[in-house]
Amino acid sequence: MAEPLILALDQGTTSTRAILFDAKGAPLAEASRPLEQFYPADGWVEHDAEEIYEASVAVLREAIAKAGRQAEEVAAIGITNQRETVVIWDKVTGKPIHRAIVWQDRRTAPTCERLRAAGKEPLVTSITGLLLDPYFSGTKIAWMLGEVEGARSRAQAGELLAGTMDAWVIWKLTGGAVHATDATNASRTMLFDLKTQNWSSEMLEMLDIPASLLPRVLDCADDYGRTNVLGASTPIRGVAGDQQAALMGQGCVRAGEMKATYGTGCFMLVNTGEHLAPSRSRLLTTVAARLNGRATYALEGSIFIAGAALQWVNEGLGVPGGGAGVEKLAQSAREDHGVVLVPAFTGLGAPWWDAGARGALFGMTRDTGLAEIAQAAFDACALQTRDLIEAMRADAPGAFGRDVELRIDGGMSRSAWFSQRLADLTGVAVGRASYLETTALGAALFAGLGAGVYPDLEAAIAARPTTERLEPALNLHEREAAYARWLDAVARVKTTA
């Protein structure tokens, strides 16, 4: 028999793509469609959910066609998605009652502030592992129920359904037969109880959201129904939010294994195993995966500005050649130049959480030039990563063994020089993935598990690509001096204690 194929749908913030993999994890073909963003008011970001579904069908079909394969050869579809983006739709007509509200949207900040002022954040964190922030889906659902005419009464009458983009696409792909999400996406809604692994009645009551709106919560490798859009009946067998899918794609399935994705910003997760680690460092506690009914957890930290710092040097300071040009210039910097860039252009993310902080350069002398500033931009990504590592180590010391490795992906991981710099400044070995589309790969591996292509988790992660391991080469004194300069600079831009 022909080797089974797995089709991954990666529904992202700016595009929707599909990648066809073989059972060894090798990509055979891919297709992509851009996604239009809507900005109806300051701080508001929306997507057209119908456009997302239509693009999903188009890229799934195109990927198979590009590979010259047939739908019957696809053993399963896996889905990964931009987390927290949410839509509400009519359960009969399938029509959304409002555009999807994107994870970046800030319109519910007043709601979050009101709940925080009422002393609700400790309860929210104890139940969901999250902070009170417009980032998450719960307050977005509450906003639509309150602002769209007739929505609340229709929801109470059981006429409406809600879901993140995975649930929406699954419902559409299955012709309305399946309304389900997975535990990783559920854990990002601010409506999910991490301990019971069910929707939280307390959170639903707090936000006045009827439970009938919400999808069933399944495992990451599970039965999500079948779709006929490819011309054959194809099972959907894997689902995970994008960062958790990347965690799987990087093979981070054991406690202490961690990954960082470097794009415009950086998302970093460390697997804490079955230990539900509450964070004292204002990191997020989230579901890493749920398989065979058993959840494993992760701590997550977000860096707002990573690759965007290089873009600032490129465009704002006029260094030509894009990121590659900035890297070439950075490599020519003087040794021990002492320049520190704190790229708090939109405030500081985890573990500082200071929205009022602003970017600054420190340590400049008459000899400082663009090369030193360019290197400081790369170093800022590494030093912010160390901030997260230190916070995670403090929150979950048991998850960090002696042989810690940070597995990286995203655009900046293409640079061998930055990858080595990251190892040097964090003091942690770095593993560079040879294949960068780890998010789609993770969805495919979950689907392969769910479809029986892989007999167990070990077999699934064996299909991921090899990594190049880079060991720290900087001596301890220089590393700690660089981190001390960084902490001093951060203290100078912070606006909160």
Q: Count Cβ neighbours within 10 Å for each residue of 219-256 and write b for 16 or more, e otherwise.
A: bbbbebbbbebbeeebbbbbbbbbbbbbbbbbbbbebb
User: Rg of the chain over CA atoms, in angstroms?
Assistant: 22
* Domain ranges, residue 211: 5-241
Q: Is residue 335 part of a domain?
A: yes
Question: Does 272 share its domain with 384?
Answer: yes
Residue 386 dihedral angles phi and psi, to the nearest 5° = -65, -40
Q: Are 190 and 199 in contact (CB under 8 A)?
A: no
Going residue by residue through the chain, which has 497 residues, state the pLDDT in tens, using 9 for 90 and above. Answer: 578 999 999 998 888 999 999 999 899 999 999 989 899 988 888 999 999 999 999 999 999 999 999 999 999 999 999 989 999 999 999 999 999 998 888 888 889 889 999 999 999 999 999 988 888 999 999 999 999 999 999 999 999 999 999 999 999 999 999 999 999 999 999 999 999 999 999 999 999 999 999 999 999 999 999 999 999 999 999 999 999 999 999 999 988 899 998 888 888 999 999 988 788 888 999 999 999 999 999 999 988 888 888 888 898 888 888 888 888 988 898 988 999 999 988 788 888 878 778 899 999 999 889 999 999 999 999 999 999 999 988 888 876 766 788 999 888 888 999 999 999 999 999 998 888 788 999 999 999 999 999 999 999 988 887 778 999 999 999 999 999 999 999 999 998 76
What is the three-class DSSP state of 325?
Answer: helix
Distance CA 141, CA 108 (A): 10
Distance CA 215, CA 231 (A): 27
Question: Does 268 share its domain with 394?
Answer: yes
Question: Does 380 share its domain with 319?
Answer: yes
Question: Does 351 share its domain with 231?
Answer: no
Q: Count Cβ neighbours within 10 Å for each residue of 434-463 and write b for 16 or more, e otherwise.
A: ebbbbbbbbbbbbbbbbbebbeebeebbeb
Q: Is residue 454 part of a domain?
A: no
Judge if pTM exceeds 0.75.
yes
Question: Does 207 share its domain with 309?
Answer: no
Last residue of a domain, one of 192, 210, 241: 241
Q: Are 234 and 227 in contact (CB under 8 A)?
A: yes
Distance CA 269, CA 274 (A): 15
The reported pLDDT for the residue numbered 401 is: 65
Question: Does 58 share its domain with 202?
Answer: yes
Question: Does 337 share its domain with 209?
Answer: no
Question: Does 177 share its domain with 225?
Answer: yes
Q: Is residue 438 part of a domain?
A: no
Q: Which DSSP letter does residue 412 get? A: G
Q: Is residue 459 part of a domain?
A: no
Burial label, 202 (beta-carbon count in 10 A; 0-12, 13-18, 19+): middle
Q: Is residue 120 part of a domain?
A: yes
Nearby residues of 93 by Cβ (< 8 Å), 6 or more positions away: none
The reported pLDDT for the residue numbered 488 is: 95
Residue of 58, 53, 50, 7 whose CA lies nearest to 32: 58
Distance CA 395, CA 390 (A): 9
Number of domains into which the chain is organized: 2
User: Which residues are 17's β-sheet partners?
Assistant: 10, 32
Question: Does 129 share its domain with 56?
Answer: yes
Q: Are 349 and 265 in contact (CB under 8 A)?
A: yes
Last residue of a domain, one of 220, 241, 262: 241
Question: Does 230 share its domain with 256?
Answer: no
Q: Are 103 and 85 in contact (CB under 8 A)?
A: yes
Question: Does 192 share its domain with 259?
Answer: no
Question: Does 138 share its domain with 155?
Answer: yes
Q: Is residue 43 part of a domain?
A: yes
CATH of residue 323's domain is 3.30.420.40
Q: Is residue 455 part of a domain?
A: no
Q: Are 300 and 269 in contact (CB under 8 A)?
A: yes
The reported pLDDT for the residue numbered 317 is: 84
CA angle 49, 53, 56 (to 5 degrees): 135
Last residue of a domain, one of 222, 241, 260: 241
Q: Is residue 130 part of a domain?
A: yes
The Cα-based distances of 123 to 42, 103, 190, 276, 287 in angstroms read: 30, 22, 11, 16, 18
Q: Are 435 and 251 in contact (CB under 8 A)?
A: no
